[in-house]
A = this chain, B = another copy of it.
Amino acid sequence: MTVQPSSRTAELVMVGSELLRGVYADTNGCFLARSFAAEGIAVTRTTVVRDVEDEIAEVISRALSRVSLVVVCGGLGPTIDDLTREAIVQATGIPLALHQEIVDAIRQRFASRGLTVSENNLRQAYVPECGGFFPNPNGTAPGLYFESGSSLIVALPGPPRELIPMFHDTLLPFLRQRGFVGAAMPSRLFRLAGIPESLADQRLQPLIANDPGLRVSILARPNLVDITLFHEDAKRLGEIGDAVDAEFGMAIYTHEQESLEQVIGDRCRERGLTLGLAESCTGGLIGGAITNVPGSSAYLVGGIVCYSNKIKSGLLSVSEQTLADHGAVSEETAKALSEGVRKTLGCDIGLSVTGIAGPDGATPEKPLGLVFMACSSKTSTRVERHQFIGTRETIRAWATQRALDLLRRFLCQAAPSDQF
C-alpha cells in the first residue's frame, strides 16, 4: 500500500463520554495533531464522540469516506462502556479473534500483582483478523489496526502515558513502513526557558518573515517555549536557524527532544556535581521533576520540603534572625536555604525556592505570586526574585520550571575553574 503525498490526511476520533462533560481537557487530540503535522500528515477533522457504539461506528464510517487514515483514541479499556473495538468492527466488517500472545501477557501482568484475570480483561486480547496490534508496555490495552481496502483504522489507548510512547515507538515506524508518512520535512527545534511566549514570538517574527517555504510551530508551557522551524530547503533552514540561535542564545536549553531536567542531569554528570533541594512553596515538585530522569540518583543527593519555619531553621540552618527580620519569603531566606541545604545534605550545589502560592498569605509588601529562588555553590550564590501571576497551581508550575532554569544557567555559566 503506497500513499500519495496529496492523500496524506487523517481524521481523529476521540471516544469517551467523559471528554464531552469537560471534566478533563483532552490532550491527546493536540498531541496527535501536532505530531502528525510534524510528519507531513494534515489532520482535517477531529470528532469527539460518546460511548455509544452506533455513534462511534457512524463517525468512523464517514471519516473513512473522506480520508484513508482514521485514528481512534480511547474506549479500549476492559469495561462495558469501552466500545471502540466493537464500533470499528461494525464500521469495517472486519471481525476480531482472540490472540493468545496478548492473553498470556495479560495473565502474566495480573499474576505478577497477585490478581486473577476476569472475562472483561480478556476483551483486550481480541485483534482484527485483517490487521494487527501494537504492544502496550504501559498498560493492558494493546493498540489495534484494521486494514480495510486502501484505508487504515488505528485504535490507540486513551491514557496519554500509554498513547504517547505507542505513537513514537510503534505507530510512527509502522506508518512510515506503510508509506503513510513520507520523509519528514527538514526541521530544527529550539527549546527556550525563561522567555514569555509573546516575547519569544515578537523576537522571532523578524527572523522568519518573507519566506513562504518556512513553516513554524510554537508550543508554550509554563516558562518553556518550543519553537520548531520546517523548511524543504535544508540550507535555508540552517541560515534561519543560526539567526534564531544568535537571537535567543542562553535561553535555548536544548535543540533535542529532551527536558530541562535531562539537560540539568547531563551538566551535573559532566562536571561530577551533586545536587540538593530546599523547596518551600513548590512542596516537592522540583524533586519530582529532577527524579523523572532515570539515573538521577547519580547526582541528586536529596531534598528537603521545608514547609514550616521550624524546618527552615532547624534542619536548614536559616537563622531565626533572618526569618524574623526578612520573613520566610525573602531574598535572604532563599539565599540561606540554598546554602543550608548544601551543608545539611553534603552536596555541591543547593537550589532553594520560597514564595507565596496562595490563595492565602499575601500582603501588600509580599503579593500573591512573589517567589524567591537561589542557587549556590561553595564559592557563589545567585538569587532571583520573580512575580508570577495566576492560580496556586500556575504559580507553583512556573516557580518549578523557573527554578530548574536557574539551576541550568548556574551549571552552564559557571566557569570550569569555579569551585563547587
Contacts and interface: CB of A to CB of B under 8 A. Distances in A.
A46 interface: yes
A282 interface: yes
A376 to B, nearest CB: 18
A288 B289 CA distance: 10
Contact of A137 (B291, B306, B387, B390): B390
Interface string A118-158: 10110000000000000001111000000000000000000
Which secondary structure dominates where chain A touches chain B?
Answer: mixed
Interface stretch (A13-21, A84-92, A238-246, A403-411): A13-21
Given A196-B115, A387-B112, A288 B288 contact: yes
A305 B199 CA distance: 36
A25 interface: yes
Nearest to A369: B112
A33 interface: yes
A310 B391 CA distance: 37
For chain A, the bracket of interface size reads 35 or more
A305 B277 contact: yes
Interface in A7-47: 17-27, 29-37, 42-47
A135 to B, nearest CB: 13
Given A198-B78, A302-B311, A48 B50 contact: no
Contacts of A24: 30, 219
Contacts of A113: 387-389
Interface in A263-284: 277, 279, 281-284
A216 to B, nearest CB: 7
A165 interface: yes
A401 B382 CA distance: 35
Interface stretch (A174-182, A292-300, A317-325): A292-300
A129 to B, nearest CB: 25
Given A20-B44, A118-B202, A283-B287, 10 more contacts: A21-B42, A22-B31, A23-B34, A80-B205, A109-B389, A112-B387, A115-B199, A161-B397, A283-B290, A291-B396
A-B pairs with lowest CB-CB distance, top 10: A284-B287, A283-B291, A22-B34, A22-B33, A284-B284, A303-B305, A46-B48, A79-B201, A284-B288, A285-B288
26 contacts: A20-B42, A21-B33, A21-B34, A21-B42, A22-B34, A23-B34, A23-B219, A26-B29, A45-B47, A45-B50, A45-B55, A47-B47, A79-B218, A165-B391, A279-B284, A282-B291, A284-B305, A287-B288, A294-B358, A296-B307, A301-B311, A302-B304, A302-B311, A311-B345, A315-B344, A315-B345
